[in-house]
Amino acid sequence: MGPHEPRFNVNLSILFTELPLLERPAAAAAAGFTAVELWWPWPGVAVPAPAERDALRRALDDAGTRLVGLNFYAGLLPGPDRGVLSLPGAGSDDFRANLDVAADFAARTGCTALNALYGNRVPGVGHAAQDALALENLVRAARAADRAGAVLLIEALNATESPDYPVVTSARAVGLVEEVNAASGLGNARFLMDLYHLSMGGEDLPAVIERYAGVTGHVQIADNPGRGEPGSGALDFGALLGHLDKAGYDGWVGLEYRPSGASADSFGRLDALGRRAG
């Protein structure tokens, strides 16, 4: 690998889902990965029992896989929710209850990036009220991430699949990063550059990379259309990874796609990109 070539890690919340959660780290290791990431591993449960958290930590340790990315609690994901931190009432309360739990899990596993997803727009609630709540909770998340020695990630989804989600452009997500950094004074918020979502939104991906690589804390990829493995759609990942290299991005590239078959059979196309698993 060259000095700035990104390393692949695998998202165990969308890959290897044919296996129980605790078996996925070992499966990723058997496929050649030393690093993994996760959405919040217990959908709909903001504060799982300590024994469940300990079991997952042991599974990661036993497999020799490093956790490099973790979502804060985001409701039912996958499912109807996109996040909860801007939802008045129970959603926001659950997010706050999860902050220290997620940060503690990150600290215990050496995870250095925590992703906080916005919530969908709520009928009857003003956008300004939701946005004020979101900023307050994102600052709380930045502080929790800082206690864990991690950065806070903020990403854009796409309006086609998430029509009620308010953060659907790279500019909006990076604007939020700047707002959170200014409000927290910590400077630890970063952009999560998900090339699949940005492509679905019609953005010029090389331009996004050039403009925002310096504030990017993590990259995720899937092909478009279909959200499949690289090579299954129209995106030129060889070129896109080259743009990331040129822009000086040297962080992780998370594989966050839906495999067309068995997860372990979907990684062969990575070899054609001249990269290897991290």
Every domain of the chain and the residues it spans: 7-273
Higher pLDDT, 2 or 226: 226
Q: Which fold has domain 7-273?
A: TIM Barrel (3.20.20)
Tokens linked to 199: 């492509």
Measure the CA–CA gap between 115 and 152, rounded to whole angstroms.
6
Do 111 and 70 touch, CB atoms closer than 8 A? yes
Average pLDDT taken over every residue of the chain:
95
CB 26 within 8 A of CB 264: no
Q: What is the pLDDT of residue 269?
A: 77
Burial of 173 (0-12, 13-18, 19+ CB in 10 A): buried
Positions annotated as catalytic residues are 155, 256
pLDDT, tens digit, 9 for 90 and up, residues 81-135: 999 999 999 999 999 999 999 999 999 999 999 999 999 999 999 999 999 999 9
| Contact in structure between 72 and 115 (CB atoms under 8 Å) | yes
Token couple for 41: 């591993």
Asked whether the predicted pLDDT for residue 78 surpasses 90, the reply is no
pLDDT in tens, 235-255: 999 999 999 999 999 999 999
189-194 and 151-155 beta bridge pairing? parallel
Q: Residue 278's pLDDT is what?
A: 65
